[in-house]
Chains A and B, each alone.
Chain A
Amino acid sequence: MVEEIGTTTEGDLIINVGPQHPATHGVLHLVITLNGETIKKVEPHLGYIHRSIEKMCESLTYRQFIYVTSRMDYLSAHINNHACALCVEKGLQVEIPARAQVIRVLMDELTRIASHELWWGAMAMDIGAFTPFFHAFRERETINDIMEETCGARLTMNYMVPGGVMYDIHPNFQGRVKSFLQLYKLKIHEYAELLTGNIIFINRMKNVGCLSPEDAISYGCTGPTARGSGVSCDIRKYYPYDAYDKVEFDEVLETNGDSLARYMVRIREMQQSVRIIEQLIDNIPEGDFQAKTKAVLKLPKGEFYQRVETARGELGVYIVSEGGTTPYRIKFRSPGFSNLSVLDHIARGSKLGDLVAMMGTLDLVIPDIDR
């Protein structure tokens, strides 16, 4: 029962965090019931950035709808496009040239690094450290430049198309990626110096927002959020797509389930991405970058589902086709939505300052939650 002055009948304070608030990184609205500084309940309200992307996709052709999905999780646009392209290819049953497969994986992993970089900086800012943000952006900027050269865009790349990739890679691509990896290895110790080894940071993160493996599964958490609790769920390992079965990498797992574990998963995941890129960058096969497909794509009647591992977790694309040029129904299973749902569970009983740290380690991207 909410009274007019914003307290419950038990005398607890209700505050609205968002839709405009520096910690929500977007238009998320959290209604928080507070007892002093202690959180009693967190209620996320969604819908502020709902653009009905799923409905829009129904009126777009199988070539067109992919571009809209770049706007869902804008930090891993490549991976969203990749999922859609894979799903359409499943329906068309086309064989993707080996060159396109490798380029796709390279782009995915670069995106993953860029996304985790931004998460690192933004999360540090949430808990009050401003400087890491700029250090993270230095590296992310280099990746954006590489993307710009090959894809022509820095954020919404729209590079993956059904049948392969839109253009061949830029002649500078390999050289620039290699110099980026060199720079990255030089700078990665700065992350540990600035944040990971800081005693204040560890105190803020350790044993905060604990998520047990059972809860992670029952809430449907995926990606680094679940792997921080020790739930092995890497789609790249379990259902490898494109060139992922040809590369060696480890699935990063931490067992504590607290904020620090989720943090460490992402930090170590960046190093695994570097490992994947190193294996592939000198071994891009020659050949076509796109399979021959018809100008107008028509999927056979039926249902198609494809899951990929984005930077935030499992993204599922579900297409129902009636045999026409546009999908009958499209559903996206976005990782952020399930990861957000766990917030109330892990935040209860902790302090208001911890809520911000937890939201940071869940790595929420609001357009991905709302679509």
Chain B
Amino acid sequence: MWSISELATDIDAWLNKTFNPTLALAIEMVIAGVAVISLFAILGLVLVLMERKVSAWMQIRLGPNRVGPKGMLQSLADTLKLLVKEGLTPDGADKVLFNLAPFIAIIVAMLLMAPIAFAKDFQLWDLNIGILFVSAVSSIMVISILMAGWSSNNKYSLMGAMRSGAQIVSYELSAGLSILSIVVLSGSLQVSDIIRAQADGWWIFKGHIPAIVAFITFIIAVTAETNRAPFDLAEAESELTAGFHTEYSGMKFALFFLAEYVNVFIVCAIGATLFLGGWMPFHIGTWEGFNHVMDYIPSSLWFFGKTFFLIFVIMWFRWTFPRLRIDQLLNLEWKYLLPISMVNLLLTTAMAILGWYF
């Protein structure tokens, strides 16, 4: 069966045969970098189009359908437009911070790509604290938003940034705790170990109710962390015009936009990895025939299928729910989600110690 990891191994072997090991490693790094950047660009294009099509479907309209077949090239055209647009820097802005902020956002999103397993044994960097790395790096995102809001010299931006700061810092706790419960069950922080622990069943099935509670908490928390509706208070179009990126235009705005979508992809990929078995195919106990058929579907398809399902769920939220108010948002986290996920973590730990999972 064709697999990405075999392809990667073959390329690695060929490079090591042809060049000396140092040069081969350097070339591999360049290839990985180019691959990440192209994945970035493709994800941006695909997710923007997907969002527009999903929203159109929910809003009884057609969505983009003029540029290219069925509007497929619409986001490409939009990107071109943003590329040639002038990137203004407001007069009173703190120029250094203002121009730095979008790059921090995009660098954070790029770093988060590293420990994600896209297919069977296909990972950029399988470091032994993979999940901790993800939690740690994703916290840096708030800095770029605060920088953008503060340096814009715009009151709307400032309020958006302050809201976002409060929001991301709070929801990180629940997201972290729900991730921890899976770490407790798997007994490892390494992404490949967590996936391998799900070979005989995904955690959402094996982990009983605590895993399901953790999954729901995780989805709510990451929706808030990525500033997506109904938690999009940092942008809150009808209140703060565009929140922290009000003053951004052209490619600087596009970088924020891209970072948002890539972040959505990454949190959904993490969710798929932790709860839905990453690239693991769907197996049902002793149904040999069924399991064999499932094994024939390439692991990368499994991974992207699960991730895009979660992305669809998050988009579904956005186009269905009204926005929360800032005090309601913080109440939800500190009074409900955080206690629930703490108790849930205790239950999961008890379950893991007593071995009460399949």
Binding site for B on A (CB under 8 A): 6, 13, 15, 21-23, 37, 124-131, 133-135, 138, 194-195, 198, 200-201, 203-204, 351-356
A126 to B328, CA, bound (A): 17
Residues in A with CB closer than 8 Å to B229 are 128
Q: Judge whether B156 and A353 touch: CB under 8 Å.
A: no
- Enumerate B302-335 residues with CB–CB distance to A below 8 Å: 319-328
Pick the contact of B321 from A23, A133, A200, A354 — CB < 8 Å?
Answer: A200
Q: Judge whether A130 and B241 touch: CB under 8 Å.
A: no
Pick the contact of B238 from A15, A22, A204 — CB < 8 Å?
Answer: A22
Asked if B155 is at the interface of the complex by the 8 Å CB criterion, the answer is: yes
Asked if B210 is at the interface of the complex by the 8 Å CB criterion, the answer is: no
Pick the contact of B230 from A126, A133, A200 — CB < 8 Å?
Answer: A200
Interface string of B233-251 (1 = CB under 8 A from A): 1001111010000000000
Q: Judge whether B321 and A204 touch: CB under 8 Å.
A: no
A131 to B323, CA, bound (A): 12
A176 to B172, CA, bound (A): 54
Least Cβ–Cβ distance between A125 and chain B, in angstroms: 6
Residues in B with CB closer than 8 Å to A201 are 322
Least Cβ–Cβ distance between A264 and chain B, in angstroms: 16
- Mark the stretch among B5-13, B55-63, B342-350 that contacts chain A: B55-63
The 10 closest A-B pairs by CB, nearest first: A128-B323, A134-B59, A129-B322, A353-B325, A23-B238, A127-B322, A126-B238, A128-B322, A15-B155, A201-B322
Q: Judge whether A200 and B155 touch: CB under 8 Å.
A: no
Q: Judge whether A353 and B60 touch: CB under 8 Å.
A: no
Most buried by A among B58, B163, B325, B328: B325
Residues in A with CB closer than 8 Å to B106 are none
Least Cβ–Cβ distance between A221 and chain B, in angstroms: 23
Q: Judge whether B323 and A22 touch: CB under 8 Å.
A: no
Residues in B with CB closer than 8 Å to A198 are 321-322
Given contacts A22-B237, A23-B239, contact A130 B326 (CB under 8 A): no
Pick the contact of B327 from A22, A23, A200, A351 — CB < 8 Å?
Answer: A351
A133 to B237, CA, bound (A): 15
A133 to B59, CA, bound (A): 8
Given contacts A15-B156, A126-B238, A204-B322, contact A131 B232 (CB under 8 A): no
Pick the contact of A128 from B163, B230, B241 — CB < 8 Å?
Answer: B230
Nearest chain B residue, comparing its CB with the CB of A21: B241
Given contacts A131-B58, A200-B230, A356-B238, contact A351 B322 (CB under 8 A): no
Least Cβ–Cβ distance between B305 and chain A, in angstroms: 26
Q: Specify the main secondary structure of chain A where it touches its partner.
A: helix
Asked if B159 is at the interface of the complex by the 8 Å CB criterion, the answer is: yes
Q: Judge whether B322 and A352 touch: CB under 8 Å.
A: no
Least Cβ–Cβ distance between B96 and chain A, in angstroms: 21
Q: Judge whether A204 and B320 touch: CB under 8 Å.
A: no
Least Cβ–Cβ distance between A301 and chain B, in angstroms: 50
Nearest chain B residue, comparing its CB with the CB of A25: B238
Least Cβ–Cβ distance between B123 and chain A, in angstroms: 37
Q: Judge whether A352 and B60 touch: CB under 8 Å.
A: no
- Enumerate B84-99 residues with CB–CB distance to A below 8 Å: none
Given contacts A351-B325, A354-B325, contact A127 B156 (CB under 8 A): no
Nearest chain B residue, comparing its CB with the CB of A7: B155
Q: Judge whether B320 and A352 touch: CB under 8 Å.
A: no
Residues in B with CB closer than 8 Å to A6 are 155
Least Cβ–Cβ distance between B349 and chain A, in angstroms: 31
Give the total number of A-B pairs whose CB atoms are below 8 A apart.
83
Known: A22-B237, A128-B229, A130-B59. 10 other contacts (CB 8 A): A21-B241, A127-B238, A128-B322, A129-B322, A135-B60, A203-B325, A351-B327, A352-B239, A353-B233, A356-B238
Least Cβ–Cβ distance between A15 and chain B, in angstroms: 5
Pick the contact of B328 from A194, A203, A356 — CB < 8 Å?
Answer: A203
Pick the contact of A351 from B58, B238, B320, B326 — CB < 8 Å?
Answer: B326
A352 to B243, CA, bound (A): 13
A135 to B61, CA, bound (A): 10
Least Cβ–Cβ distance between A263 and chain B, in angstroms: 12
A353 to B231, CA, bound (A): 12
Least Cβ–Cβ distance between B324 and chain A, in angstroms: 6
A131 to B163, CA, bound (A): 24
Least Cβ–Cβ distance between A175 and chain B, in angstroms: 24
Q: Judge whether B155 and A353 touch: CB under 8 Å.
A: no
Least Cβ–Cβ distance between B205 and chain A, in angstroms: 29
A201 to B229, CA, bound (A): 13
Nearest chain B residue, comparing its CB with the CB of A134: B59
A133 to B239, CA, bound (A): 17
A354 to B236, CA, bound (A): 12
A204 to B239, CA, bound (A): 14
Residues in A with CB closer than 8 Å to B230 are 128, 200
A127 to B230, CA, bound (A): 10
Could you jot down 22 A-B contacts, CB within 8 Å? A15-B156, A37-B163, A37-B327, A127-B323, A128-B232, A128-B238, A131-B59, A133-B59, A134-B59, A134-B61, A194-B320, A200-B230, A200-B323, A200-B328, A201-B322, A203-B324, A204-B328, A352-B239, A353-B236, A353-B239, A353-B323, A354-B325
A267 to B59, CA, bound (A): 20
Given contacts A15-B155, A15-B156, contact A195 B322 (CB under 8 A): yes
Residues in A with CB closer than 8 Å to B325 are 203-204, 351, 353-354
Pick the contact of A138 from B60, B322, B324 — CB < 8 Å?
Answer: B60
Residues in A with CB closer than 8 Å to B323 are 127-129, 200, 204, 353
Pick the contact of A134 from B60, B232, B233, B321 — CB < 8 Å?
Answer: B60
Least Cβ–Cβ distance between A17 and chain B, in angstroms: 9
Least Cβ–Cβ distance between B316 and chain A, in angstroms: 10
Nearest chain A residue, comparing its CB with the CB of B319: A131
Q: Judge whether A356 and B322 touch: CB under 8 Å.
A: no
Residues in A with CB closer than 8 Å to B163 are 37
A355 to B58, CA, bound (A): 28
Nearest chain A residue, comparing its CB with the CB of B240: A352
A233 to B59, CA, bound (A): 36
Nearest chain A residue, comparing its CB with the CB of B163: A37
Least Cβ–Cβ distance between B59 and chain A, in angstroms: 4
Residues in A with CB closer than 8 Å to B321 are 128-129, 198, 200
- Enumerate B155-175 residues with CB–CB distance to A below 8 Å: 155-156, 159, 163
Q: Judge whether A131 and B320 touch: CB under 8 Å.
A: yes
Least Cβ–Cβ distance between B74 and chain A, in angstroms: 18
Nearest chain A residue, comparing its CB with the CB of B154: A15
Q: Judge whether B236 and A130 touch: CB under 8 Å.
A: no
Residues in B with CB closer than 8 Å to A354 are 325
Nearest chain A residue, comparing its CB with the CB of B237: A22
A126 to B237, CA, bound (A): 8
Pick the contact of B236 from A128, A203, A204 — CB < 8 Å?
Answer: A128
